[in-house]
Amino acid sequence: MFKLKRSNPRQINTLVDRRTRINGDVEFAGGFHLDGYINGNVSGAQAGDSFLWVSEHGAIEGSVVVSNIVLNGIVKGDIDASGRVELGEKARVLGNVRYSVIETAVGAQINGKLIHRASCDAGELEPDPARVTPP
């Protein structure tokens, strides 16, 4: 009748405080919550689900490669998420976003291209000019 609760799959394993500034690339596994600033690339472990939360106080200047991201801060670089991208109302992306599933709140800003992974994997990023017929 009652089911046991499973452990939270979005568990935070790493936390970077608002007063912390990192200059260099960051690689992590599991869940990573960023309130601070990273000047470098951020990548989650390729094996398993990596989950990145960037709060409204957090900022990344570099590319982001993760399974899942919840962004309410700033990313100045490309985002490549093999799973889910959630952009909060204060999210700012200055770069391209490659995603499988995306959810954006009213107020989120993206200054770049949205690229669906299925289209990217099929090689459909740019139309072939030879195949385009004029109207």
pLDDT at 120: 56
Q: What per-residue confidence (pLDDT) applies to 105?
A: 96
Secondary structure letter of residue 118 according to DSSP: H
Helix (H) or strand (E) holding 41: none
User: With a threshold of 0.85, does the pTM exceed it?
Assistant: no
pLDDT of amino acid 125: 47
Ranges of residues in the chain with a pLDDT under 50 are 1-8, 124-125, 127-135
Q: ∠ CA 100-8-98 to the nearest 5 degrees?
A: 15
Q: Tell me, what's the pLDDT at 134?
A: 47
Helix (H), strand (E) counts: the chain = 1, 18
Per-residue tokens: 50 = 């990596």
Predicted pLDDT of residue 104: 96
CA distance 2 to 120: 43
Per-residue model confidence (pLDDT) at position 2: 43
Residue 127's pLDDT is 46
